[in-house]
Amino acid sequence: MLKVNLTSFFKTATHTWRLFNMLGCLQGGFSKKHLPYWHCFIPGKAFDCKASIIEKNLNTTIKSVFHMIEINQDVFDKEVESNELLVLDFYSTECPPCEALAPKFDALDALYGQDIRFVKMFRQGNRDLAEKLGVRSSPTLLFFKNGKQVGDVLTGGIRRSDIMRNLDALLPEARVEQIHASIRPIDTETEVLVLGAGPGGLAAAIYLAQAKVDTLLVDPLLPGGQVSTTHQVSNYPGFIDPQPGYMLAHNMAEQAKVAGARMKVAVEISNIDLKKKEVLIDGHETIRAKKILISTGASPRYLNVEGEKEYYGKGISYCATCDAKYFHDKEVVIIGGGNTAVEESEFISKFASKITMVQQFPYLTANRSAQEKAMADPKINILFSHEPRGFYRRGEKMAVKVENLETNEMKELQTDGVFVFVGMKPNLELINDPLEKDQWGYLKVDHEMRTSMPDVFAAGDVISKQIRQITTAVSDGTIASIVIARELH
C-alpha cells in the first residue's frame, strides 16, 4: 500500500469529477468494484490506496490539474504570448453544455497537455474580453497559435472529435500520431443503457435510478431532445404558466442526475450492437449493458427538393426557436400546415412582418385552437393546395418555387427566409440490427415497450404510435423503466 497526504491537493481541485479521475478509481464510471477505494476521497487525511492505481495515474492527473488553470482577462494577453499553443474554454455556471464538455476537456488536457496549454475562463466574469473575441455563448473553445486565433470556434454541445481535430492541426503530424497511439480503450459497464436523452429517456432514467438500477444515458446531442428547442410548452402537467422548452428539458435532466443516473452527452456514437448490448462512443469507449432502451426520438423530415440542402442554414431553417429572432421585421415562408407548422407560426409572428404558409392540403391539419390563432393573425397568409418545388437565391432574398396542385401552375415567392415543418422521421440511422418496424420506419413495441429483440426496449417518438407528445414519451419511458427494473431486480 502507498500512503499519500492529499490535503493541499484537494484545495486546488474544484470539481468532484476531477477528484474521482485523479487516482483512476472511477475511470470509465463508478461501480461497486470501486467501493474499496472510496475512502480515498476523505479530505484532510492520509489516504490508503493501491499503489498500482496511484502510480499508474497520479503523475498524469496531478500534472493535468495543476497544468490547466483558470485565468481572467487581465492575464489573457500574457498567456497567449508566452505559450506558443493554447486552447481557451469560456464556460459558465449552471450550464449543461459546459458540464458535458468539462470531462472531455480534462481528458484531452492529459493527452495534449505537454504540447498545448489548456486554460479556462469564466465568461460572465470576463465580459469585455468575451465580447472582443466574439464569444456570445457558453461553452466556447478558442484555439491560438503564436498569439493568433486559429482553427474553428466551437460552441454548444462540443464533441471530442471536433476538439481533437483542432488540436491536431496545431501540432506536427508525427507528434499527432504519437498522441493518438497513446489513447487506450475504455470499458464501461452498466445495468441499463438508455440511448437518447429526450423526455422518454429521461423519464426512464429517473424511474430506474430511483429503483437503484445502474443507469447510463448516452446522446449525441445535449439532454432534452426536441423539447430543448421548443419555444414554449403549455400543456405539460404541473405548470400553470407555459414553460420555456429549454428549461423543462434542463429540469428533467437535473432530476435524472439527482436520482443517480449517469450521462454521457454530446458524444459520437461510433457503433451500436444490440445483440451484444454494446455501444462504442467517441471511438474508444465501449459501454456494455444488460438491457438497452432506445429513446432516440425523431427528427424533421426533409422535403428533398432542389436547393434544400444547399441553403440549409443559409436561408432555410427547421427550428423556429433557434432562428426566428433573425427575421425581425422581415418576411418568411413556412412550409407545412400541421401542428408544428401552425404552432411555430405563432412564435415566428412575434418577429416577422409577414408570413406565407404553404400547405399541400386544402385545409390545415393542426388542432382547432392553433388553427383559429393562425387564421386570426393578420401577419399570416395561407396558400392552400400548394407544394414547394425548389429553393433559390435571388440576391439577398430567397425564392420559393411552389406548384398549385389544382391547376399545376408554378410561381415564385420572394422572401427573406424559409422555415420547414413537414413532419418527422425516426432517428435510427445508427441501428443496423433487424428490429421490427412499421411502414414508416418506426419501431414496433408491445404494451411493455419491448422490441422484437430480447432485452431491447424502446420509448418515445421513435416507436410506432398515433400520438407523439412530451407526455406520451414520458409515459413510454415510465412503462419501459418499471418493466426493466422488475426484470433486473
- pLDDT tens across 358-406, in order? 999 999 999 899 999 999 999 999 999 999 999 999 999 999 999 999 9
Kindly report the number of other CB atoms within 10 A of residue 381's CB atom.
Answer: 10
Instruction: Provide the residue count of the chain.
Output: 489
How far is 393 from 399, CA to CA, in rounded Å?
6
- 192 with 172, same domain? no
Within a domain: 366 = yes
Going by DSSP bridges, is the β-strand pair 410-415/417-420 parallel, antiparallel, or unpaired?
unpaired
Within a domain: 445 = no
Within a domain: 215 = yes
Within a domain: 443 = no
Within a domain: 388 = yes
How far is 111 from 284, CA to CA, in rounded Å?
14
- 231 with 220, same domain? yes
* Cis peptide leading into residue 139 (ω within 30°): yes
User: Is the pLDDT higher at 150 or at 243?
Assistant: 150
Question: What digits encode the pLDDT tens for the residues 23-52?
Answer: 333 333 433 333 333 333 333 333 444 444
Q: 128 φ, ψ to 5°?
A: -60, -50
How far is 421 from 345, CA to CA, in rounded Å?
10
- 256 with 232, same domain? yes
How far is 451 from 274, CA to CA, in rounded Å?
11
The per-residue pLDDT for 94 is 79
Within a domain: 305 = no
Alpha helices of 113-265 — where are they, by DSSP H?
127-132, 160-170, 173-181, 199-210, 245-259
The per-residue pLDDT for 1 is 36
Distances (CA, A) of 34 to 23, 49, 199: 11, 11, 31
Three-state DSSP class for residue 289: strand
Mean pLDDT along residues 109-135: 94
Residue 252 domain boundaries: 186-298+450-488
CATH code of the domain in which 101 resides: 3.40.30.10
Helix (H) or strand (E) holding 418: strand 417-420
How far is 3 from 87, CA to CA, in rounded Å?
35
C-alpha cell at 58: 497520479
Question: What digits encode the pLDDT tens for the residues 418-462?
Answer: 999 998 899 999 999 999 999 999 999 999 999 999 999 999 999
- 48 with 90, same domain? no
- 393 with 455, same domain? no
User: Is the pLDDT higher at 30 or at 305?
Assistant: 305
The per-residue pLDDT for 360 is 95
Within a domain: 440 = no
Within a domain: 191 = yes
Mean pLDDT of the chain: 86
pTM over 0.85: no
Count of domains in the chain? Answer: 4
- 110 with 163, same domain? yes
- 196 with 292, same domain? yes
Sign of torsion, CA 323 329 330 332?
positive
Last residue of a domain, one of 45, 67, 89: 67
Amino acid making up residue 248: L
pLDDT at 129 over 80: yes
> DSSP labels for 344-396?
HHHHHTTT-SEEEEE-SSSS--S-HHHHHHHHH-TTEEEETTEEEEEEEEETT
How far is 12 from 17, CA to CA, in rounded Å?
13
- 3-state class percentages of the chain: helix first, strand second, coil last, to nearest 5: 35, 30, 35
Contact between 105 and 155 under an 8 Å Cβ cutoff? The reply is no
Question: What digits encode the pLDDT tens for the residues 249-274?
Answer: 999 999 999 999 999 999 999 999 99
Last residue of a domain, one of 181, 209, 240: 181
- 85 with 131, same domain? yes
The per-residue pLDDT for 13 is 39
Last residue of a domain, one of 181, 215, 235: 181
- 196 with 266, same domain? yes
The per-residue pLDDT for 323 is 82
Q: Is 65 exposed, middle or buried (0-12, 13-18, 19+ CB in 10 A)?
A: buried
Contact between 50 and 41 under an 8 Å Cβ cutoff? The reply is no
CATH code of the domain in which 257 resides: 3.50.50.60
How far is 4 from 172, CA to CA, in rounded Å?
38
Residues 6+ apart with CB under 8 A from 451: 294, 435, 436, 443, 444, 445, 457, 458
Q: Nearest to residue 141, comparing CAs of 172, 97, 179?
A: 97
Distances (CA, A) of 448 to 40, 122, 402, 452, 484: 42, 46, 45, 12, 9
Looking at residue 35, the DSSP 8-state letter turns out to be G
